Structure 1
Amino acid sequence: MSPALKIVVDTRNGVPPWRQVRDQIAHLVEVGQLALGTRLPTIRQLASDLGLAPGTVARAYKELEADGVLHTARRHGTVIAAAPSDGADPLRAAAEQYVQTAKSLGVDERTATSLVQRLYDLTEETT
């Protein structure tokens, strides 16, 4: 693992490993320990370093890429593309609030996302 990329995954804390990887990389970018343009290890290499399945690391990278934090290009690998959003995005803020509320009520991820999908479908039917 690269010296700047210090990630620790605790499989006993209830947080999915992919989320721990994603959150820790985002944090390292936020605090400047991973600068823009920094190349990250390959999915296979990081998975091996952390003792995780490659799909777990792939999901973390995919989530960060969707957030615009990472960019993957075949020749250049996966690099830091931008700092994570500062929370100014109103949709992200609403989603974060929803997740926190669902968790505080003891609702699991599958149930919470299913509810959002059903509500989204209902609003499409009425518009």
Structure 2
Amino acid sequence: MRFTIRHDDDTPPFEQVRRQVVDAVASRTLAPGTRMPTVRALAAELDLAVNTVAKAYRALEADHVIETRGRAGTFVAATGDPTTQEAQLAALAYADRVHHLGLDRATALALVESALDAPR
């Protein structure tokens, strides 16, 4: 996901960053569990002050859009009710494992469909 800043816009840069992240999460362009760029990296990419991006990240964290996991970094937070959040985290863990194993998307999805269709 590429973020952009319109310097001719009356909206402050931190709010432009915040709004773009919120919109990307809402449209599922940024999925739960997606690692966000570091504050310094995003500031350099957008040619903004580090404090500007940090302000946007603090606002996003206060709104539970992103979460910081210490040294592991900042990630898009799971959203929705607790059941949906747990399912999103399980899906992320599955996707990480599938990538690690080198499985292609079609195989991974077929395995999920088979598991969901199995009698319980």
What TM bracket, shorter-length normalisation?
Answer: 0.5 to 0.7
Alignment partner, residue 113 of structure 1: none
Alignment partner, residue 33 of structure 2: 37
- Runs of 4+ in structure 1 deviating by more than 4 angstroms, as ranges, are none
Q: Which runs of 5+ in 1 are unaligned?
A: 85-127
The alignment yields a C-alpha RMSD, in angstroms, of 1.3
C-alpha displacement of 1:23: 0.1
Native 8 Å contact 1:8 1:50 kept in 2: yes
Question: Which one of the candidate residues 46, 49, 53 is aligned to 1:53?
Answer: 49
SS at match of 2:8: coil
SS at match of 1:79: strand
Question: Which one of the candidate residues 68, 71, 77 is aligned to 1:72?
Answer: 68
Native 8 Å contact 1:26 1:83 kept in 2: no
C-alpha displacement of 1:82: 3.3
Q: Which moved more, 1:71-80 or 1:50-59?
A: 71-80
Cα-to-partner distance string for 1:60-106 (whole Å, 9 max, x where unaligned): 1000000001100222200000349xxxxxxxxxxxxxxxxxxxxxx
Matches within 5 A, 1:1-127: 5-83=1-79
Native 8 Å contact 1:9 1:17 kept in 2: yes
Cα-to-partner distance string for 1:45-71 (whole Å, 9 max, x where unaligned): 000000000001001100000000110
**TM-score (normalised: structure 2):** 0.64
C-alpha displacement of 1:7: 1.0
**Alpha-carbon distance between aligned partners in 1 of 2:3 and 2:17, rounded to the nearest angstrom:** 7
Q: Which runs of 5+ in 2 are unaligned?
A: 81-120
**Quick one: percent identity of the two aligned structures?**
45
